Amino acid sequence: MPGVPTNRPRLMRALFGAVLAVLVTVLLAACGSSSSSTSKTTAAASPTSATTAAGSSSSGTLTLGTKDFTEEFILGQLYKQALAAKGCKINYKENIGATEIIDRALTSGQVDAYPEYTGESVATVAKINKSASSPQQEYALAKAFYAKRGQVMSQITPFFDVDAIAVKKSYATKYGLVTVADLKKVPHFTLGARPEFLNRQEGAAGMKSVYGLNNFTFKSLALGIQYQALDSGSVDAADVFTTDPQLASGKYTVLKDPKNIFGFQNIALVINKNKLSACPNVLTVVNNVNKLLTTPAVISMNKAVAIDKQPPATVATAFLKANHVI
């Protein structure tokens, strides 16, 4: 999830920006799109052609996007279905990409709103290198940044899903690992994570600069296979999310983060301010859904999709009906 370091050469930053701009254009052209009457039926459906050009959403339609992993698919379906039940017309674009990509989609008008993690907003989007001391402070930093840029945020969820470093329990026992700092005890380890984790301050860059960890080799992993990589031994440690259902198996040890480099990651809907009128009471509807999203509820829904292979739309419908939202 988190921010790009600022100590890279100016030329590399410029090249990175150019490459990212091209990547955003290509990926957005491939993003999934559906109307409010059509639901995605798989948790990892490949994106299909997008039909909404930048800035072309009608005033009566809200283009809702999601990032590229299970929890976001569930959140997107929860918001989509709850808003549709209140008369909102939704143009739904699932599986757009990582934070850097979907934020470009938001600012360019490809999407009007999407669920975001507050720590991601602060570190990756706003590039604020300031550690928050509480979820409320993280939210306040994010909210102030978006306000200057023309976006507003819903209220945050009770649950937060933060990046963490996990190892197999046997590996933790062998080296006496309890915290991220304890990885210094390991002569050398392989860290597996999605590619963008490498250069984020709330990621491998922060592990180096804050914890002084320079004894690892980074291995790029597609999102979703980190537990397979740990089990097979192809990596020794992996970036995980704290609401991953696989952690309930007892096979893994999640290392504590006493210096809080991974921040607080409560969810809020980020929406372009000029699209608030596209749906009746959009923030009220979203806030009512967010109040229900406790950690046990989210882990249960993640398990239903990631492990039990139920479609995110089906899981979201069941949750909303059980809580009398739809």
* Count of other CB atoms within 10 angstroms of residue 188: 8
Lowest mean pLDDT among 50-54, 58-62, 99-103, 198-202: 50-54
Kindly list the structural domains of the chain, giving each domain's residue range(s) and its CATH number in brackets, ordered by start: 10-160+265-322 (3.40.190.10), 163-255 (3.40.190.120)
Residue with tokens 């059980």: 322
Judged against a pLDDT cut of 50, whether residue 288 lies above it is answered with yes
Distance CA 133, CA 151 (A): 24
Express each pLDDT in 230-277 by its tens digit: 999 999 999 999 999 999 889 999 999 999 889 899 999 999 999 999
Judged against a pLDDT cut of 60, whether residue 12 lies above it is answered with no
What mean pLDDT is reported for the chain?
85
Residue 280: pLDDT band with limits 50, 70, 90: confident
pLDDT of residue 223: 82
Q: How many helices (H) and strands (E) does the chain have?
A: 11, 10
Q: Which residues of 54-91 are buried (b: 16+ CB within 10 A; e: fewer)?
A: eeebeeebbbbbbbbbbbbbbbbbbbbbbbbeeebbbb
Lowest mean pLDDT among 51-60, 109-118, 176-185, 199-208: 51-60
pLDDT of residue 20: 41
Residue in 46, 55, 30 with CA at minimum distance from that of residue 110: 55
Distance CA 266, CA 295 (A): 10
Residue 58: pLDDT band with limits 50, 70, 90: very low
In this prediction, residues 191-216 reach a mean pLDDT of: 95
In this prediction, residues 185-189 reach a mean pLDDT of: 98
Report the residue count for the chain.
Answer: 326
Residue in 36, 197, 38, 29 with CA at minimum distance from that of residue 108: 29
pLDDT of residue 44: 38
- Which has more confidence, 79 or 40? 79
Judged against a pLDDT cut of 50, whether residue 54 lies above it is answered with no
Distance CA 83, CA 234 (A): 43
Lowest mean pLDDT among 54-58, 123-127, 139-143, 206-210: 54-58
pLDDT of residue 34: 37
- C-alpha 21: how far from its chain's center? 20
Residue 97: pLDDT band with limits 50, 70, 90: very high
Lookup: tokens for 80: 């989509």
- Which has more confidence, 59 or 176? 176
Judged against a pLDDT cut of 70, whether residue 52 lies above it is answered with no
